[in-house]
Amino acid sequence: MPATATRTLAAQYADTFAESRERFERAKGLFPCGVTHDARMMDPFPVYVSHAKGALKWSVEGHELVDYFVGHGSHILGHSPADVVRAVQEQMERGTHFGACHDSEIEWGELVRKLVPCAERVRFTGSGTEATMMALRLARLHTGKPKFLKFHGHFHGWHDAVTVAADYPYDVQPVGVTPAAAGQCVAVPPNDLNLVEDALKAHADVGAVILEPTGGHWGAVPIRGAFLKGLRELCSRYGCVLIFDEVITGFRVSPGGAQAVYGITPDLTSMAKILAGGLPGGCVAGRAELLAYIEPRAGKPKMRHPGTYNANPLSAAAGIATLKRIATGEPCAKANAAGRTLRNKLNELFAARDWNWIAYGDFSMVRAIPNPEGDRPPAATGDSDGFVPFGGDLNRLDGAKNMKQYYALRQAMLLNGVDWWGYAGMTTCDHTDAVVERTVRAFEASIEALRAEGLG
Ligand SMILES: Cc1ncc(COP(=O)(O)O)c(C=O)c1O
């Protein structure tokens, strides 16, 4: 399978993944773009996967791939860990949906409360998108202020108002969203507390601040503790609800998420992905006073919250088995160590080959991007102290992509046995040193192939 310099990447890719292409031909007329999630769009066609285990997955052609999509971030124990599989199988026998309260939802909620510092109360939802929607609605009810503030490049799902400024270019009206809905959102660039304070002064009707606490698009433009501390202070001073969107970072960066690492307690937290052990599910956790708006109370409005799949028994079973392992601290520590090793080894490779590429990131989240300046970062020694390229410049770290290079890198990495998420990837506790080493060799071969095509 390894890419060779004699044929173009696109030609090798088309041959190597011919059975995926056949499936894509069927899917094209069925799904818009032939895919079921925007992030799976791929030029000329995506790879179809038949099964996965640990850090690996296999294409329908039988090619083994090291996985860095890890279920869009929903796996930290690797694919199909035995205890999670067993818990889900056993639950399947007992029933998938009782349309009733059940023991597992209590156990699942208690685990969330035990692990997540802000979690006085918990409410399960069907997804991360539903969780951020709920958090913002609770904040609106509590403060009586209709608007919220978010940051450029921060992704909070796809309900109307949060799509504002989620992707570059940040200043365009989100497609399909009414101006009234988009107008609920005030968006500013990250990492500048003065800009936040100016916005809060200018918009007295902002009642919530929401962010991805390690940076938008899971750390493309890293955020660190000092900014979070400043935001906490500003929110308290201006009467705003602080919402950490820990849909990705929750149970990943540490058992208690980013809030536990940085010691900053938000008022509300949205979570999903690892929460439900790779099955669908989300939750909002936070101050009792805020979640109380879901309860009927004399003289207070009650926010409705239905949702067929809230705390469904299958997701609860997977979530409980996963969070029990998370509670030991070992999976997060291993995944973080794998991320750090990969960043360091990639930077060693780029220096050794004198290639203008750079790896950076925090915790188990890794980015490898072209680096025209050729700066060499110092070795990363901790989970959240890594070098930030280009002085943290938003437009350079999260701005327009060279899509030709982006897809060529994906093709090359797939040909070299790695499913790498464009310029980024996430690790699990199953990304062992051997898996990381294999990834570094795949990068070496892939960048060589890109350079041969004038794209590296
Ligand atoms: C930070 C963040 N918030 C919210 C969401 C939306 O979650 P879901 O895809 O479960 O709706 C995502 C999804 O990737 C996310 O990364």
User: What's the pLDDT at 176?
Assistant: 97
Instruction: Calculate how far, in angstroms, residue 127's C-alpha sits from the geometric centre of ligand 1.
Output: 8
> Hey, what amino acid is at 181?
A
Contact 113, 122 (CB under 8 A): yes
Contact 17, 26 (CB under 8 A): no
Atom of ligand 1 nearest to the CA of 129: 11
Ligand 1 contact, 210 CB (< 6 A): no
User: What's the pLDDT at 23?
Assistant: 98
User: What's the pLDDT at 385?
Assistant: 73
Instruction: Calculate how far, in angstroms, residue 188's C-alpha sits from the geometric centre of ligand 1.
Output: 20
Ligand 1 contact, 128 CB (< 6 A): yes
Instruction: Calculate how far, in angstroms, residue 230's C-alpha sits from the geometric centre of ligand 1.
Output: 25
Give the mutation target among 72, 134, 156 for probing the ligand 1 site: most ligand atoms within 8 A of CB: 156
User: What's the pLDDT at 1?
Assistant: 57
Instruction: Calculate how far, in angstroms, residue 314's C-alpha sits from the geometric centre of ligand 1.
Output: 20
Ligand 1 contact, 212 CB (< 6 A): yes
pTM of the shown model: 0.97
Instruction: Calculate how far, in angstroms, residue 192's C-alpha sits from the geometric centre of ligand 1.
Output: 24
User: pLDDT by residue (tens digit) across 394-407?
Assistant: 999 999 999 999 99
Alpha carbon distances (Å) from 5 to 28, 357, 370, 440, 449: 30, 20, 21, 18, 6
The pairs formed by 289-297 with CB atoms below 8 angstroms and a separation of 24 or more are 289/142, 290/121, 290/138, 290/139, 290/142, 290/241, 291/120, 291/121, 291/122, 291/123, 291/138, 292/121, 293/138, 293/141, 293/142, 294/123, 294/138
Q: How far apart are CA 119 and CA 107, in angstroms?
A: 14
Domain ranges of the chain: 9-79+330-452, 82-326
What fold does the segment set 82-326 form as a domain? Aspartate Aminotransferase; domain 2 (3.40.640)
User: pLDDT by residue (tens digit) across 25-83?
Assistant: 999 999 999 999 999 999 999 999 999 999 999 999 999 999 999 999 999 999 999 99
User: What's the pLDDT at 443?
Assistant: 98
Ligand 1 contact, 272 CB (< 6 A): yes
Ligand 1 contact, 245 CB (< 6 A): yes
- List the chain residues with pLDDT less than 70: 1-6
What fold does the segment set 9-79+330-452 form as a domain? Aspartate Aminotransferase, domain 1 (3.90.1150)
